[in-house]
Amino acid sequence: MQQVEENKTVLTALAQMMKTELTATDWPREGTVVDATLIKKLSRKAYFDLGRFGTGIVYGVEIGNAKETLRAMKTGDAVHAKIVMLDGEEGLIELSLSEAGKQKIWQEAKDLMESGEVVKAKIIAANAGGLMAALPGEIKAFLPVSQLAIEHYPKVQDGDRTKITEELKKFIGEELSVKIIDVNPRTNKIIASEREVLSTNVKELLSAYAAGQTVDCIVSGVADFGVFVRFADNPDIEGMIHISELDYKLVENPKNLVKINDALKAKIIDIKEGRVFLSLKALKEDPWEKVGDQFRQGDVVEGRIHKLNPFGAVVALPNNFQGMVHVSEFGGQDEMKKAIISGQSYMFVIDAIKPEEKRIMLKMKK
């Protein structure tokens, strides 16, 4: 009886030792990626040595998925493998080579994002939203238009998506320096940024400038939404003047005001996240401060119809002021289009002047 009790004690101790040993070796779980060495490959299965974890097997659908990988391997070759099931066929650990490759790519992308390392991205495709890029380690990433350096931003006049795509296609085959800024396996997206590479250097350069400062600029690009300029004393800094900051009067097309290589003086109105925003009109006298010297409520004025929109008609008034006739004055859009024609002049009555809103409300003179 005493011998039986001693045997039980020994077995319990051995079990505890095995449990402790498994814990110490960090026994793998399903989904873990491990190092595997090829022992033998057959037509429908392959065996791998997993070291202290035993033997793994690749079979079934995964044999087809990993066909190219296995074809290139010979006995003794090592590869990364993902554990699919701890108790697979023949009681061996079931492995996936293709899934391990994908997981390895995601991990490498995550490591690059966390390190902030700058890598070369070869552009392989383009669409209106941005560029597809091949990074080291078989990583494929998307480079959105918004993450391009300003100098590479497609400066298309009318925002036409086809034209934007054509501009971006010019980068196919080229290499750009980028950082990975987002890795999301759930949405199967890796996002890269060229702008982030430049932002550190640009932020340092911009530390010498402040909002309210006037700078000399050279026009580097013109788009339908505004003008890109480089600082004359620091060409590495490129900023933007939004169309609304070009002039106090309504600007339909920035090309009518400036062209490439024009020299300008502009006022810095904001510096944010390595980007600088400027204004031309901030250096001009604000005509709305003296609008009361030229117009009064009830005055009859002549104006030219500048533009018709769903809200009414924009009217060009003397001295570069604009007025607005609300669509309700006509009864509706169809009636407005019948009553007035773009480019024609008519007589109006000033209904209200709102300098703080930079608005003059008009009514048609009966």
Burial of 42 (0-12, 13-18, 19+ CB in 10 A): exposed
DSSP 215: E
Whether the Cβ atoms of residue 337 and residue 307 lie closer than 8 Å to each other = no
d(CA 242, CA 228): 9
Q: Which residue has the tokens 């022992």?
A: 39
Give exposure, 47-83, as e/b (b: 16+ Cβ within 10 Å): bbbbeebebbbbbeebbebbeebbeebeeeeebbbbb
Whether the Cβ atoms of residue 343 and residue 314 lie closer than 8 Å to each other = no
At 71 the pLDDT is 83
Instruction: Provide the residue-wise pLDDT of the chain in tens; the chain has 366 residues.
Output: 545 455 444 444 443 444 444 444 456 788 788 888 999 988 889 999 998 888 999 988 888 878 878 888 899 988 888 888 888 888 899 988 877 667 677 777 888 888 878 888 888 898 888 889 888 777 788 888 888 877 787 876 556 788 888 888 888 998 888 888 888 877 778 888 887 786 666 778 888 899 999 999 999 888 878 898 989 988 888 889 998 899 887 787 888 889 888 999 999 999 987 789 999 999 998 888 888 888 899 989 999 998 888 899 999 888 878 899 999 999 888 899 999 988 899 999 999 998 888 889 999 988
> Could you tell me the domains of the chain?
32-112 (2.40.50.140), 116-198 (2.40.50.140), 209-283 (2.40.50.140), 287-364 (2.40.50.140)
Whether the Cβ atoms of residue 133 and residue 197 lie closer than 8 Å to each other = no
At 116 the pLDDT is 79
At 6 the pLDDT is 52
Q: What is the pTM of this model?
A: 0.50
At 189 the pLDDT is 84
